[in-house]
Structure 1
Amino acid sequence: MIFILFCAVAIIAATALLFGLQNPETKISQLLRLPGDAIYTLLHMSAKLACSAHHISGFTPQRIHRDLRNYSPLFALVSIDQSRDITCAKIGNLISVKACFHPLQGCRLIHQQSPAQLIEPPSHRDHYPKQSENECGYQWKASNPALQELLDSQLHHDHESGLDTRALLVTQGGQLQAEAYGLGISAHTPLLGWSMSKSLLAILFGRLETLGLADSTSLSLFPEWQNDRRSEITLQHLLQMCDGLAFDETYRPGSDATRMLFGTLPASRYALQRPLLHTPGRHFSYSSGSTNLLARWIHRALGGTEATLHFWKKEFVEPLGLTSAILELDNDGVFIASSYGYATARDWAKIGGTLLKGLENAYGSQPFLDPMWLSHALSPNRSDNDPRYGFQLWLNNRTNRLPPLYPQLPEDSAFMLGNREQKLMIAPSHNAVVVRLGWSASPYPIEDRFSEILEVLPN
């Protein structure tokens, strides 16, 4: 069994690598490591995602297995056992990997290395305050029957097409216009945002800067960078992914992204070790490592895990009236903000709504985000190659060199995007937020679907 798996994984991974690398010597050295990397990734990904899906989203074992196989049929070789707060993924009886759940910190892989000290879990798992329906100006009662009919139709069509859309939700001016949910999903189901979590972290950073606790122009960010040119990297460079650090974002066995999320080092510490490849500020390169470095800086600036979680609750969760949002931690106690944010569709809409100026007074006497910070967050970066990225947000701006990301959608729109076709659009010209959460291997027709939605919204 193990030998067959080893050979199958090696062939698939090697083929992908051969088509992706140019240097023969690099190919050979990578190929020698690929079978181990592939099996390692298979097990660690299974344990981590299954643990979170079970404890946070409340998914059934059948849905969890189906979601994993959506990535690759090789996941069918992995068996998963849930026992209290421990999830075990194994192949046969010889290889196994475990992940554990913590109510405040989510799920983390268990390695032989001693993990960071974790805060003891509370006596009950419901650690979020209950909010009234109109908390922070949000009205959770659908008010647009025509739009409701459209979302129901879109959801049905997506189901028939195999897109597995799990939540569709639209707010305008802080009020729910319509929402629709797939089978087994409700308004109270926290769903994984994948890289939408990057935008969440940027908003958390914006809250720090609004309160005078951070300055995006700061440099010399980490002691480990003091003696080389990485000391020239600013927080804004990290926010805009123009830091110039080498990072392979492709999701294959042995890549930086895979090693960071499913390796033995804590995610932010892995990113901290990446060398400089480009002059900071000159080159945009989409990198999950940049986000986790930003999370590491926040962790240090606030004084560690307990202080960061306190800030998260008091200055983010409570002001926004969030009831479900959780951002999981690595084994250094740092947010894995590149990937592991969970929230209900309603909470994702609230998070996205912070970027609409029309809602800036909905969070109390002072705006949740400083208007100047918000302007910078939604402005193009100054890289030489692709300015269509703001502060951990994709921008639909047209440039002299590049077209809009989505020509059919408003030019002023910005997007929180994630793996498996997670889509959240902030449309300032419509004062609206559109959320699509699901689990799709094939592209989601965002332009067609979201254009239909905007047409039904009142001007």
Structure 2
Amino acid sequence: MKSGKFSRVNPFRVLLRTKRRLTLLVIGVLLALFACLLVVLDQPLKVASGFASKEICSVTFVSGLNPDQVYSDMIEPEGAMKYISGLIDYDVNREKHEVTTTIAGLYKTRAAYGEGIGCTLVHSPEDVNLAAAADFKAPAERVKPQADEIAGPGVVKPQNEQLRAALDRAFAEREKPPFKRTQAIVVVKDGKVVAERYAPGVGVNTPLLGYSATKSVTNALIGILVRQGKLNVEQLAPIAAWHNEQDPRHAITIDELLRQTSGLALKETSTGFDPASRMVFIERDMAGFAEKAKLTAAPGSEWAYTDGNYILLSRIIRDAAGGRASDVRQLAQRELFGPVGMKNVTLEFDATGTPNGAMSMLATARDWARFGLLYLHDGMAGSERILPEGWVKYSSSQTLNTGYGAGFWINRAVSGNAPYGLPWGMPHVPRDAFFAMGNMGQHVVIVPSEHLVVVRLGMSHHPDGLIAGTDRLVADVIAALKNGR
């Protein structure tokens, strides 16, 4: 019988080694999951940072509002921003006219302000030169207004108690979030302001973001170029990347871009995961990003709302105007803002000099009202024709079975749902009404049968400040004006 040595195994040491291995395995799995999560969240977090930088910059340096109040009222309650609010850090540099934002110390974005062009997201050191370019040093061309003045310098008080009550109701705030945050209301009847009201810190001369109401201004600029013979809505969209006839996007027309029926894969969900959000808050060249999108539907066959169509229209406008940001600015001032009497307007641009005609124009509530009057008066400013004859009818004509026209929302559709769960139209307002509409409750409502324009602007996150609230406001205003005669 052979003898040998036997070692006793310590079960506690084995257990300890096993625990360590399991711990390392769990840590490894958690790190891998965390890395995957960062990859998934990379785009929406970059979008969130860019959104904060750009909008705080615009409202601080163009509107002149308090950035902390803007963050609290506008940025923090928007979408998923409230869930990451504790991680967001923004810095307003008043000396450099810049806003820088980070999320948990990462995802740094910067927006810079330039006189005349508002705020631009900066992607490289060269981008800040857009604001300092020689062609922006001179002020935009001044043009004598052709439209009649709509009010004197002071705030116009409601002309009767029922009208006052209508504005009281629209400004009445909720006791708990989400809030309405109404900033401005202007009521124009028969070409004159008959009532207006502003929130504290906001006044007659405060330019406010119109968000997607800017799309209606893009409609006007396209109309002006049509009047000048430089464009035709039925022509193929003049986008060089689509010049090949074998490219299915070659068939997309300007009309289909205006009507949101291009069929391009530029889905907009405002979640930060969508390509439209990436285009606006991450990409340096917005139109360059949009023109690369593939088709998801044949042009003209389906309606799908997206900023992408209007960014492409903005590039078309820039190219037709002369190719530079300053050319767009001069065109807008000379042919639109000046003649209509819009006195305090800022159209913003991306870093390549393309206007963000999808969602980034600031103007006073009265200026938005003056813009509405242009469409109420069939494209005329006084005796001068600004838009082609028939353009207003074209813009407010129905697209497929929707509540959309060509850059304006209409009040004629009887069924269907608009984006984000909103109903088509305003059920308590005359059917001939049509309106510009932007995020957080920006509305320019035109009611031809009542010779009326109602503007409502705010930072709303509750239906009472969105289309449902504006429906009630306009209905109350119409009733008050009829009873007050």
Q: Which residue of 2 aligns with 1:98?
A: 110
Q: Which residue of 1 aligns with 2:66?
A: 60
Is the contact between residue 143 and residue 334 of structure 2 (CA under 8 Å) also seen in structure 1?
no
Cα distance in 2, alignment partners of residues 92 and 242 from structure 1: 39
SS for the counterpart of 2:309 is: helix
Is 1:422 the counterpart of 2:442? The answer is: yes
SS for the counterpart of 2:463 is: coil
Is the contact between residue 168 and residue 434 of structure 1 (CA under 8 Å) also seen in structure 2?
yes
- 1:66-124 Cα offsets, whole Å, 9 max, x none, are 02112222234222222222211134656532111111211111113854962348669
Amino acid at match of 1:290: N
Q: What's the C-alpha RMSD, in Å, of the aligned pairs?
A: 2.8
1:405 paired residue among 395, 419, 425: 425
Cα distance in 1, alignment partners of residues 193 and 436 from structure 2: 19
Amino acid at match of 2:173: D
Cα distance in 1, alignment partners of residues 393 and 230 from structure 2: 18
Q: Which residue of 2 aligns with 1:276?
A: 295
Measured after TM superposition, the shift of residue 400 of structure 1 is 8.0
Is 1:153 the counterpart of 2:172? The answer is: no
Cα distance in 1, alignment partners of residues 105 and 457 from structure 2: 36
Q: Which residue of 2 aligns with 1:75?
A: 85
1:392 paired residue among 407, 411, 432: 407
Q: Which residue of 2 aligns with 1:47?
A: 53
Is the contact between residue 379 and residue 391 of structure 2 (CA under 8 Å) also seen in structure 1?
no
Cα distance in 1, alignment partners of residues 317 and 126 from structure 2: 23
Cα distance in 2, alignment partners of residues 400 and 265 from structure 1: 38
How many residue pairs match? The answer is: 427
Is the contact between residue 141 and residue 330 of structure 2 (CA under 8 Å) also seen in structure 1?
no
The worse-fitting range, judged by mean Cα deviation, of 342-351 and 40-49 is 40-49
Question: Residues 221 and 48 (structure 1 numbering): CA distance in 2 closer, same or farther, change over 3 Å?
Answer: same
Cα distance in 2, alignment partners of residues 388 and 113 from structure 1: 43
Unaligned residue ranges in structure 2 (runs of 5+): 1-29, 418-422
2:306 paired residue among 261, 279, 287: 287
Cα distance in 1, alignment partners of residues 427 and 170 from structure 2: 23
Cα distance in 2, alignment partners of residues 292 and 95 from structure 1: 24
Q: Which residue of 2 aligns with 1:23?
A: none
SS for the counterpart of 1:354 is: helix
Question: Residues 135 and 407 (structure 1 numbering): CA distance in 2 closer, same or farther, change over 3 Å?
Answer: closer
Is 1:175 the counterpart of 2:175? The answer is: no
Amino acid at match of 1:88: T
- 1:225-271 Cα offsets, whole Å, 9 max, x none, are 12201111111111111111112110112211210111133222211
Amino acid at match of 2:172: H
1:374 paired residue among 373, 386, 392: 392
Alignment of 1:281-320 (within 5 A): 281-304=300-323, 305-320=325-340
Cα distance in 2, alignment partners of residues 237 and 80 from structure 1: 39
Is the contact between residue 129 and residue 323 of structure 1 (CA under 8 Å) also seen in structure 2?
no
Amino acid at match of 1:77: L
Measured after TM superposition, the shift of residue 200 of structure 1 is 1.3
Cα distance in 1, alignment partners of residues 283 and 186 from structure 2: 37
Question: Residues 373 and 131 (structure 1 numbering): CA distance in 2 closer, same or farther, change over 3 Å?
Answer: closer
1:213 paired residue among 227, 230, 253: 230
Cα distance in 1, alignment partners of residues 387 and 358 from structure 2: 21
SS for the counterpart of 1:199 is: helix
Measured after TM superposition, the shift of residue 360 of structure 1 is 4.8
Cα distance in 1, alignment partners of residues 174 and 184 from structure 2: 12
Amino acid at match of 1:395: I
Is the contact between residue 240 and residue 389 of structure 1 (CA under 8 Å) also seen in structure 2?
yes
Unaligned residue ranges in structure 1 (runs of 5+): 1-6, 12-27
Amino acid at match of 1:105: I
TM-score under structure 2 normalisation? 0.81
SS for the counterpart of 2:356 is: coil
SS for the counterpart of 1:158 is: coil
Amino acid at match of 1:255: D
Is the contact between residue 143 and residue 176 of structure 1 (CA under 8 Å) also seen in structure 2?
no
Q: Which residue of 2 aligns with 1:109?
A: 121
Amino acid at match of 1:211: Q
- 1:410-430 Cα offsets, whole Å, 9 max, x none, are 111112111112222111111
Is 1:457 the counterpart of 2:481? The answer is: yes
SS for the counterpart of 1:195 is: helix
Amino acid at match of 2:437: L
Percent identity (aligned): 27
2:262 paired residue among 226, 243, 255: 243
SS for the counterpart of 1:87 is: strand
Cα distance in 1, alignment partners of residues 364 and 144 from structure 2: 14
Amino acid at match of 1:100: A
The worse-fitting range, judged by mean Cα deviation, of 165-174 and 109-118 is 109-118
Is 1:184 the counterpart of 2:184? The answer is: no
Q: Which residue of 1 aligns with 2:346?
A: 326
Measured after TM superposition, the shift of residue 160 of structure 1 is 5.2
Is the contact between residue 103 and residue 121 of structure 1 (CA under 8 Å) also seen in structure 2?
no
Is the contact between residue 130 and residue 323 of structure 1 (CA under 8 Å) also seen in structure 2?
no
Is the contact between residue 148 and residue 177 of structure 1 (CA under 8 Å) also seen in structure 2?
no
Cα distance in 2, alignment partners of residues 157 and 401 from structure 1: 30
- 1:15-74 Cα offsets, whole Å, 9 max, x none, are xxxxxxxxxxxxx99x66322223212221111111111101111132122021122222
- 1:127-156 Cα offsets, whole Å, 9 max, x none, are 685989x95342345572335512441244
- Find the structure with the greater CA-based Rg: 2
Cα distance in 2, alignment partners of residues 267 and 77 from structure 1: 27
Question: Residues 432 and 259 (structure 1 numbering): CA distance in 2 closer, same or farther, change over 3 Å?
Answer: same
Amino acid at match of 1:112: S
Is 1:255 the counterpart of 2:267? The answer is: no
Cα distance in 1, alignment partners of residues 304 and 357 from structure 2: 17
Is the contact between residue 142 and residue 176 of structure 1 (CA under 8 Å) also seen in structure 2?
no
The worse-fitting range, judged by mean Cα deviation, of 75-84 and 112-121 is 112-121
Question: Residues 389 and 326 (structure 1 numbering): CA distance in 2 closer, same or farther, change over 3 Å?
Answer: same
- 1:133-192 Cα offsets, whole Å, 9 max, x none, are x95342345572335512441244236573111111110122101001112111111111
